[in-house]
Amino acid sequence: MNKPAENITIPAEELLLKGEQTFSSITAKITGVIEKKTPRMWFLALGAALSLLMILFGSIGFLIWEGVGVWGLNNPVGWGWAIINFVWWVGIGHAGTLISAILFLLRQKWRTSINRFAEAMTLFAVSCALIFPGIHVGRIWIAYYMFPIPNQMDIWPNFRSPLLWDVFAVGTYFTASLLFWYTGLIPDLATMRDRAVTKFKKIIFGVFALGWRGGNRQWRHYELAYLILAGISTPLVLSVHSVVSTDFAVSILPGWHTTIFPPYFVAGAIFSGFAMVMTLSIIARKIFNLENLITIDHLEKINKIMLLTGMMVGYAYSIEFFIAWYSGNIYEQFAFINRAFGNYSWAYWIMITCNVLVPQLFWFKKLRRAVPVMFIASILINVGMWFERFVIVVSSLSRDFLPANWDYYSPTMWDIMTFVGSFGLFFTLFLLFIRVLPMIAMSEIKTVLPESDPHYTGDRHE
């Protein structure tokens, strides 16, 4: 494409993007990820992801054939890895929505470098999450009972059950995120359409771009639609994991029956989601040389959010202990002492180390800006967040009110393979996404260049 008539340079410290960027250099860089020859690494990664995906299909197939008994569930631990994985994956999705919706409303322009693939991450993480309750129902062929569809038994779903709230909360979350993501994609799909050289690409991108012309008469409706979608996604960031937490909080089990759960879960969700955004963006910017668009400043901001949400989670861990003591309820007190020092104490201390201690590294600016440190920390945080859900689900269930009921829970190989396989689904979808669609929102990131402001005169000391 033609270069703009003037090439304006602006001091680096005023810019969100590094290097001398113009509108067309941004387009070239981002579409280059798709248009250039596929890197060898990508094929290797896709091969690995597809192998894991086969493991997922195999273990789901065996589960449906044989029944939920192939998992390590026992009495009293009737919820095991499936619910842990569900909560974990849904939680990861929350960062994408926070970036795309809340940071948009707060006019945080740095989000434009990471929002597109964070939203994609949301969709793929929620897809992984939805598998687990879906296959946990046992008789999967009548899973449609979850929806208010008239059926032969003439009964309706129990709308008072948190498990049904989940169906609607997570289902809506997925659909609204998909619509939001697609709305953001329309102008970029038009870019892909205009650059397409093969007939196949012209047709595919042409159809999905819907004939977008970039006219201001269109932008005015578009911008409002985007704002509205951001507005209605904002409460979803808070509501979805709150509803998920009611799966536990509404029951009467010690360790679950607490009012702190909704905010505590939401903070944990954002915490682990940002960790996943961090992991993925470090890999993506490295493989596709996007260091000028996803800069170290962006990563530092993500680290600050992780530090904040990590401390919120740490606060929740400690206040749970305080309330257990303060309530005077012996069952509650036992549940928490058992968590820290009982049969699952190993999991508890992994959780504390990864979620409370690791983020403290980010108090130091040097560590906050060191890519290897944050890469390892982001992975440890997600390990910790998985163990948080493990501790909540398993330690409370395995030691309920009557000691006669107590039992120790361990997963079987099918539990492990289903979880490992879900990474296959996640990474397969993610790898296909970054090869097929613009992973950074071009029409949005262009607006952070000073030239996008009509009152910009080209004077560097404005």
Looking at residues 219 to 238 of the shown chain, list those that interact with another protein (rule: CB under 8 A). 219-225, 228-229, 232-233, 235-236
Count the residues in the chain. 462
Q: Measure the CA–CA gap between 298 and 19, rounded to whole angstroms.
A: 15
CB 138 within 8 A of CB 301: no
Token reading at 166:
């989940």
Within positions 352 to 391, which residues make up the interface with another protein, using CB under 8 A? none
Q: Measure the CA–CA gap between 19 and 21, rounded to whole angstroms.
A: 6
Q: Measure the CA–CA gap between 76 and 409, rounded to whole angstroms.
A: 9
| Burial zone of 144 (CB within 10 Å; 0-12 exposed, 13-18 middle, 19+ buried) | exposed
Q: Measure the CA–CA gap between 189 and 163, rounded to whole angstroms.
A: 37
Give whichever of 165 and 362 is closer to another protein, judged by the CB atom: 165
Check residue 190 for interaction with another protein (CB under 8 A). Answer: yes
The upper half-sphere exposure of residue 394, i.e. CA atoms within 13 Å in the direction of its Cβ, equals 27
Give whichever of 113 and 191 is closer to another protein, judged by the CB atom: 191
Q: Measure the CA–CA gap between 311 and 292, rounded to whole angstroms.
A: 30
Q: Which stretch binds another protein (CB under 8 A): 99-107, 300-308, 407-415, 446-454?
A: 446-454
Check residue 206 for interaction with another protein (CB under 8 A). Answer: yes
Within positions 118 to 177, which residues make up the interface with another protein, using CB under 8 A? 148, 154-160, 164-165, 168-169, 171-172, 175-176
Query: Which residue is it, tokens 């470090």?
Result: 282
Within positions 243 to 302, which residues make up the interface with another protein, using CB under 8 A? 243, 246
What residue type is 427 in one-letter code?
Answer: F
Residues 400-439, mask of contacts with another protein (x by CB under 8 A)? ----------------------------------------
Q: Measure the CA–CA gap between 220 and 224, rounded to whole angstroms.
A: 6
Check residue 447 for interaction with another protein (CB under 8 A). Answer: yes
Binding test (CB under 8 A) with another protein, winner from 86, 89, 212, 274: 212
Residue 410: count other Cβ atoms within 10 Å of its Cβ. Answer: 10
**Shortest Å, Cβ 346 to another protein:** 35
**Shortest Å, Cβ 367 to another protein:** 36
Binding test (CB under 8 A) with another protein, winner from 104, 117, 132, 180: 180
Binding test (CB under 8 A) with another protein, winner from 143, 146, 194, 315: 194
**Shortest Å, Cβ 16 to another protein:** 15
Within positions 9 to 48, which residues make up the interface with another protein, using CB under 8 A? 22-24, 27
